[in-house]
Structure 1
Amino acid sequence: MRNSFLFTSESVSEGHPDKVSDQISDAIVDLFLGIDPEARIACETMTTTQLVVLAGEIRGQGIYQDGQWADGIPEKIEAAVRQTVREIGYEQVGFHWKTLKFENNLHGQSVDIAQGVDAADDKDEGAGDQGIMFGYASDETPDLMPATLDYSHKILEQMAADRKSGKAPFLEPDTKSQVTLRYANERPVEATAIVVSTQHAPGYYFHNGEGDEAKYAELRDYVKGVIADVLPAELLTDNTVYHINPTGKFEIGGPDGDAGLTGRKIIVDTYGGAAPHGGGAFSGKDPTKVDRSAAYITRYLAKNIVAAGLARRCTIQLSYAIGVAEPLSIYVDLHGTGSVDESRIEAAIPGLVKLTPRGIRTHLGLNKPIYRGTAAYGHFGRKAEGDLFPWERTDLVEKLKAALA
């Protein structure tokens, strides 16, 4: 293991154009699962200046059958899109929830796909696609997440809350953060660089002698205050370098500044580069898609392993074939921090959780409209509360300890 190194993770806010697209796609997932818990959804969203376009395939009772939308569904889809944009906070000339143009190009699910993944009477349903999925946990933070990503998310969450409450009225929705930490003996010991680029109200910039220096100082001091609130005090030192809106003016942002697409921020969604990613995006997919549900169950298993004190770090991989219910492989890596052999954990996992698509959904309770809130500030490291973020529970700890005793 390396004794000392620098590591960096980034996050983007709910107003980033790709995250706007992710949230719209998951708002459609929630809409359809609220009507039919067994609905099949693969919804992609593209956003740009004054335009939102949906595409993909869907199926569900009371939603879309035999090539026809059920009564009122197209109107509900458009209402969900506009409400999502409104809640994010876009009321700008270049992107406004009320006046944007909307296109719905969703269509029925391919029968060729459906035949491979629907359950027959005598067997479990198959996986919705082939693929590999990874879960990860680390004891760097109380959330058992990589510290660089955890702090990057929390900076932006706080800024969004202050924007919406009116505490920071000079902020606009599109924001990015990046945190670089120095590690010693695998532990974060110092923040060496922190980057925050935030869209702002007119005039809140100063660069190369242009803009309003006093307004920029207000924005800069506010952002540094948020950073100080989020990061542990011992990590912020005289050596910490702050880059706050380093390019200067950032008034045009969101989908008006750059097109957004569902699924372009998968590293932000997961572990900030501290762990592998199987490649599949989560947002816009119902939980029969193992890109989503298997990534959730691997995080759940990895988190419980670390919470049980069996390791300080844990990576788990599952693999699936389309139309096949059981995973093809289970892989566990404790990165040299474990108190038990990885092979014992690999052997124990199938007895604790059924890893078929339906088994995962049943164990975690995934056939519910719980996904819009996952689509910004990370799918992991969040608070399990009621039906929300069930993969963040640590209710498997005692069973793991018993199985490995």
Structure 2
Amino acid sequence: MARQEYLFTSESVSEGHPDKVCDRISDAVVDAYLSEMPDARVACETLATTNRIVIAGETRGPESLTKDYIAHLARMAVKDIGYAQEGFHWETCDIAVHLHAQSAHIAQGVDASGNKDEGAGDQGIMFGYACRETEELMPAPILFSHKILKKLAEVRKSGQEAVLGPDAKSQVTVRYENGLPVGVTSIVLSTQHLDETLTSMDVRQIVEPYIRDCLPSGWISDETVWHVNPTGAFVIGGPDGDCGLTGRKIIVDTYGGAAPHGGGAFSGKDPTKVDRSAAYAARYLAKNVVAADLADRCTIQLSYAIGVSEPLSVYMNLHDTGRCDEAKLEAGLRDVMRLSPRGIREHLHLNSPIYERTAAYGHFGREPAADGGFSWEKTDLVDALRTLAG
């Protein structure tokens, strides 16, 4: 039986964190290609350091997307995040673009031809997870870590708290009783600030009201431990303070360590890459299982081989919370959704420019958008899964 009384911690990072700057730029490139050519191929990696951005990778798409235009997209992303400081300025930083054509040997395995359907863009394993801890069917620690930073970004950008800088990290430790989250034992926040005279206590006075608003009533008590800017001043931030790379925040992007991760990053990849699309599909299926009240927790694993269309395996674990025949439900998942790369893309409408917005504050637990963004968060398979479960 699973433990019922414990503490669990997850962290998030803001859109101005160096790695998230890189994720944002890489996904802006993906969106640009998909806007011009829905079946474009993109594998884009970004590095950011003091006043320098390097964009590299493989693409297949229209020649109208020049290196100058890609550099412009990067500048606009950095500007929107809010970097206009001496060591990293959206207008003056040097940007090098080293995108080149996709490998023909990879393309021949992925592309459909003759009787062969489109194959997976790589081998690998992908996981999806959902649970009843929150309305969003996400683990509480990661969800509230995201909410804190998203709120602080909103008040920073609105000018309400203009003294805050773009770079920030949060960490929330949640106390569980009877297997359910009931309170917060510690809160860690490190946030960049633009006024060098601010102390850690000054910063806490600024951010504490917003943090309290983000957490459920009663979760913060007199015993909750706070660590706000515990190292003191945090003025030099972003890529000027620490080098950033695409794909280094995969646990932040998913479930905060509360569920397995297959190891593949999402940002910078078009939806033929199953690292991204199959992870979205696994979350979609797991969320619908829980939303259908067939279980309180659900983990789904999918596995693929490069160039092969159908998944090699489909695994489901209901963690002893299931209210149905687990094996029967697992066997029927392929009937409610085609799990080939093409099937996933078509079902979730993934060949659209919907990815830049995913680069910060988590790919899961978000609201589905009218234009297809976060389509994997819909719960439109509930009826089909209930019928399948009998």
Judge conservation of contact 2:149–2:168 (CA < 8 Å) in 1.
yes
Deviation string, structure 1 residues 64-93 (Cα, Å, up to 9, x no partner): xxxxxx246222211111000000000000
Alignment of 1:215-364 (within 5 A): 216-217=201-202, 219-364=203-348
**Structure 2 residue matching 1:154: 3-state secondary structure:** helix
**Structure 2 residue matching 1:56: 3-state secondary structure:** strand
Q: Number of matched residues?
A: 388
**In 1, Cα distance between equivalents of 2:353 and 2:300:** 26
Q: Residue type matched to 2:56 in 1?
A: A
Find the counterpart in structure 1 of residue 155 from structure 2.
Answer: 162
Moved over 3 A (4+): none
**Does 2:386 align with 1:401?**
yes
**Match of residue 203, structure 1, among 168, 172, 196:** 196
Q: Residue type matched to 1:51 in 2?
A: R
Q: Residue type matched to 1:124 in 2?
A: D
**In 1, Cα distance between equivalents of 2:207 and 2:172:** 13
Cα deviation, residue 232, structure 1: 0.6
Find the counterpart in structure 2 of residue 90 from structure 1.
Answer: 83
Judge conservation of contact 2:325–2:389 (CA < 8 Å) in 1.
no
Deviation string, structure 1 residues 102-157 (Cα, Å, up to 9, x no partner): 00011100111111111013231110000000000011001100000000000000
Cα deviation, residue 204, structure 1: 4.6
**Does 2:103 align with 1:110?**
yes
Cα deviation, residue 32, structure 1: 0.5
**Structure 1 residue matching 2:218: 3-state secondary structure:** helix
Alignment of 1:38-53 (within 5 A): 38-53=39-54
User: TM-score, normalising length from structure 1?
Assistant: 0.94
Q: Residue type matched to 2:149 in 1?
A: L
Deviation string, structure 1 residues 9-49 (Cα, Å, up to 9, x no partner): 00000000000000000000000000110000000000000
**Does 2:77 align with 1:76?**
no
**Structure 2 residue matching 1:103: 3-state secondary structure:** strand
**Does 2:8 align with 1:7?**
yes
Find the counterpart in structure 2 of residue 385 from structure 1.
Answer: 369
**In 1, Cα distance between equivalents of 2:65 and 2:170:** 40
Cα deviation, residue 385, structure 1: 1.3
Judge conservation of contact 1:172–1:199 (CA < 8 Å) in 2.
yes
Judge conservation of contact 2:33–2:65 (CA < 8 Å) in 1.
no
**In 2, Cα distance between equivalents of 1:173 and 1:404:** 47
**Match of residue 186, structure 2, among 155, 171, 193:** 193
When residues 72 and 138 of structure 1 are mapped into structure 2, their CA distance, relative to the original with a 3 A threshold, is closer
Q: Residue type matched to 2:387 in 1?
A: A
Judge conservation of contact 1:170–1:204 (CA < 8 Å) in 2.
no
**Does 2:18 align with 1:17?**
yes
Find the counterpart in structure 1 of residue 132 from structure 2.
Answer: 139
User: TM-score, normalising length from structure 2?
Assistant: 0.98
Q: Residue type matched to 1:26 in 2?
A: D
Q: Residue type matched to 2:191 in 1?
A: T
Q: Which runs of 5+ in 1 are unaligned?
A: 63-69, 208-215
Cα deviation, residue 226, structure 1: 1.1
Judge conservation of contact 1:8–1:179 (CA < 8 Å) in 2.
yes
Q: Which runs of 5+ in 2 are unaligned?
A: none
**In 2, Cα distance between equivalents of 1:114 and 1:206:** 54
**In 1, Cα distance between equivalents of 2:329 and 2:226:** 42
**In 1, Cα distance between equivalents of 2:382 and 2:7:** 32
**In 1, Cα distance between equivalents of 2:343 and 2:65:** 33
**Structure 2 residue matching 1:309: 3-state secondary structure:** coil
